[in-house]
Structure 1
Amino acid sequence: MIKLIIFDLGKVILDFSHRDIARGLAVFSTLAKYQDPAKIMDHMFNNGSKIINLYEEGRITTDDFFIYIKESFGLNISFPRFKKIWNEIFKENDGIDMLIERFKKDFMLFLLSNTNELHFEYVKEEYPVINKFDRWVLSYEAGIRKPEPEIFQIALNKAGVKPNETIFIDDIRENVEGAESIGINSVEFKSVNQITTYLEEKTYESRPG
């Protein structure tokens, strides 16, 4: 019987584009190389950037992250302007709020995300859907990122449920496999309609009445 449904944040609840960050920062670079947004994308996001991982694991502070990015790309930029560029990249997926409301009636709903302090503080204020979840499991608070099995175990422990009583939804196959490795029913997100159908079928026998 399913008791808990865990949702990823990025691309599942909120769509986003890292390219918007790269374009925004390139304008403030004093280094010719990094006036090209593609170079910022490669350095920051496309090559498994260690600094992003450290920030998402809560191993460096927001201030230290900002200083590193500012110095790395030669940015002549204030922190408030950086924060605006860094954060204003999200858009709620159509239909996701209705899906959350529908399944919240009968199941515990958790949010489990590889995210950082700046992004999460922003989205929980700007997008009411974030506050409809029963609990959040965030990489920067947990000190570990998906697809490591330990972060999924944290969610199970918080909910007091077993892996086979849980569904996990994520857009990244590697993360889905991480959850599956400890026995969680998992599905790769493609669209809200696809997930709605999947949840209807998977939770049919778990619904009251």
Structure 2
Amino acid sequence: MMGSNRKTLLLDFGGVLSLDFDSESKSTLCAMLNIENGALVESLFANDHSRLALVGAISDSELWDRLCGHFGVDRSTMDFVWDMFWRSQIINDELLVLLDECRKRGVNVSVLSNMWCCGGTRMRSLTRLTRLIDQIIISGEEYCRKPGREIFDIAISRLGCFPEDILFVDDDARNVSVALSLSMSGLVFNDTRQGNAFIEQWIRR
């Protein structure tokens, strides 16, 4: 497909658009799952069941059954944990202000996230975020994940632009490295102020 020359921001969700969880909710969720305080994201996503769901290899229903067994909780508890997980997200409001300005300048803003299919559904329900987002590309829906090249190729095709016109922003240097190898610009996101300054500079080029 022929690409356009429209500048495009392609952003990760966790660690970029979402910075953390509120501390009280995080402690509550860790206690409910009987895991060490502060290990919420790692415990949810760095297990074999989650890894399969991140590439769509098991259904959401099978994932919940497996996670209930993994954490030793019932389905109602797991449903509550998942709901609170999303309600307690600390969204990067400072970055959202910049994204609003980017859209007014004609910049495409999209998301590329390693996430279960049911996470993609919840992500799309965050209206503060989705009003600024053109497309949300989820690993579980595409059957492949970062840092593999395939999901980046899918993103380039879906966005309809040239790789050279994309700035990929992620908090994982491995993912940014792949983007750079495909002729995108890349930013390892560690700090909102520095990240926003880099994005603004890139837009002005």
Q: Could you say whether these structures have the same fold, taking a TM-score greater than 0.5 normalized by the shorter chain as the test?
A: yes
Q: Which residue of 1 aligns with 2:56?
A: 58
Distance in 2 separating the partners of 1:62 and 1:181:
33
Shift of 1:182: 1.3
Q: Which residue of 2 aligns with 1:73?
A: 71
Contact 2:31/2:37 (CA < 8 Å) preserved in 1?
A: no
Shift of 1:54: 1.2
Alpha-carbon spacing, 1:27–1:195, altered in 2? closer, same or farther (3 Å): closer
Q: 1:24 and 2:29 equivalent? A: yes
TM-score (norm 2): 0.82
Contact 1:149/1:181 (CA < 8 Å) preserved in 2?
A: no
Alpha-carbon spacing, 1:111–1:27, altered in 2? closer, same or farther (3 Å): closer
Amino acid at match of 1:87: W
Contact 1:167/1:184 (CA < 8 Å) preserved in 2?
A: yes
Question: Over alpha carbons, which structure has the higher Rg?
Answer: 1
Task: Classify the secondary structure of the residue corresponding to 2:167.
Answer: strand
Shift of 1:196: 1.9
Distance in 2 separating the partners of 1:193 and 1:42:
24
Contact 1:2/1:164 (CA < 8 Å) preserved in 2?
A: no
Alpha-carbon spacing, 1:137–1:39, altered in 2? closer, same or farther (3 Å): closer
Q: Which residue of 2 aligns with 1:109?
A: 109
Deviations 1:119-175 (A, max 9, x none): 332232234222321111111111111111111111111122222121100011111
Deviations 1:21-57 (A, max 9, x none): 68526436xxxxxx343697598358x4222121121
Amino acid at match of 2:171: D
TM-score (norm 1): 0.81
Task: Classify the secondary structure of the residue corresponding to 1:95.
Answer: helix
Task: Classify the secondary structure of the residue corresponding to 1:115.
Answer: coil
Deviations 1:69-109 (A, max 9, x none): 11122214515324324433411113122111111122111
Q: Which residue of 2 aligns with 1:185?
A: 185
Contact 1:2/1:167 (CA < 8 Å) preserved in 2?
A: no
Q: 1:201 and 2:204 equivalent? A: no
Alpha-carbon spacing, 1:156–1:71, altered in 2? closer, same or farther (3 Å): same
Task: Classify the secondary structure of the residue corresponding to 1:102.
Answer: helix
Shift of 1:178: 1.6
Unaligned runs of 5+ in 2: none
Alpha-carbon spacing, 1:118–1:89, altered in 2? closer, same or farther (3 Å): farther
Alpha-carbon spacing, 1:149–1:22, altered in 2? closer, same or farther (3 Å): farther
Alpha-carbon spacing, 1:183–1:81, altered in 2? closer, same or farther (3 Å): same
Q: Which residue of 1 aligns with 2:18?
A: 14
Distance in 2 separating the partners of 1:77 and 1:70:
6
Segments ≥4 residues shifted beyond 4 Å? 19-23, 38-43
Contact 1:26/1:40 (CA < 8 Å) preserved in 2?
A: no
Alpha-carbon spacing, 1:27–1:203, altered in 2? closer, same or farther (3 Å): closer
